[in-house]
Amino acid sequence: MKVCDRRAISAGMAILMLLSFATATTVVAQSLFEVESIDLTVYRDGLVHVTQTIIVDELAPDITLPLLSASVENVIVLDESQLVVDYEINGGNLTVFTLGAERVLVEYDTIALTEKEAEVWTLVADNPYTLTAFLPQNATVVYLSSMPTAIDTSGTGIKLSLYPGQWEISYVLPLLPDDGTEDNGAPWTTFPLEYLIIAIAAVTAVVLSVILIIRRRKGPNVKKTVKAYPQLKKEDKDVIAFLAEKGGQAFEAEIRERFPDMPRTSLWRLVRRLERLEIVEVKKIGLENQVQLK
């Protein structure tokens, strides 16, 4: 009996030591970073843009954090100096090589968090952290699986503060105007007729000037490109027009200089979007990227 008791005691102590070691390892891993904020921006077409701000132990060689979806694209990771940080995606986890960084910004797009049935969209999220969800412009919420910690409807959009857990948020969207104008976040206003005539004349003059410049330089046909891709946003068209003015190609640094108000990450995603649409191609020349119209 004594031998059996000793063996049982030894086995119990071994199990306790293993559990203590596993717990200590988990605590150490979690202490390597702290999620400061997570924002979900939901667009009309169901695309969700995820932005995460993470405080990192600068001595940690890397951190691993869960993605909100295993299907992501347009991933970009920047440190506090807005420098690109290397990363790897393993299934539903993102490993960021953060050695020396104190704060990391992670951004990516996914279409796996939303689904549509008839006219009702549903955002489905299983989030391990507190996050903020921004629904599309003028959305109307029709179902909430739980009550958010805060709901902000001060603007034309809805901002929801969600605690960790599983969420289902259903909403409907108003129809776009008959002319297909995309909802860009600005409220609709009415202008006097004379202002409208002046605006049309000014826009016509600008368009004619651009056409004359393009024809004079014999550059790419911007009008044809824009017509072929009606889903292009205003900033997409502006960048395409600038590339045409530059003879069809320009370095990313030149584009950033031409559009100083556009954040670096937004420009990065814009160029990648045009690349996916096969409107431009990106070539590495030295240490810089050259964007060229196809």
* DSSP line for 264-278: HHHHHHHHHHHHHTT
Q: Mean pLDDT per segment of 10 residues, for the chain of length 294 residues? A: 54 53 42 89 93 91 91 92 92 90 93 93 91 92 92 86 94 72 50 70 81 61 82 91 90 91 88 90 85 88
pLDDT, residue 56, reads 92
pLDDT, residue 6, reads 58
pLDDT, residue 13, reads 61
Helix (H) or strand (E) run with residue 200 in it: helix 193-217
Strand 48-56 versus strand 73-79 pairing type: unpaired
pTM over 0.85: no
pLDDT, residue 86, reads 93
pLDDT, residue 88, reads 93
pLDDT, residue 17, reads 54
pLDDT, residue 264, reads 85
72: Cβ contacts below 8 Å, ≥ 6 apart: 50, 89, 108, 109, 110
Domains of the chain: residue spans and CATH: 33-172 (2.60.40.1730), 219-293 (1.10.10.10)
pLDDT, residue 157, reads 81
Contact 292, 249 (CB under 8 A): yes
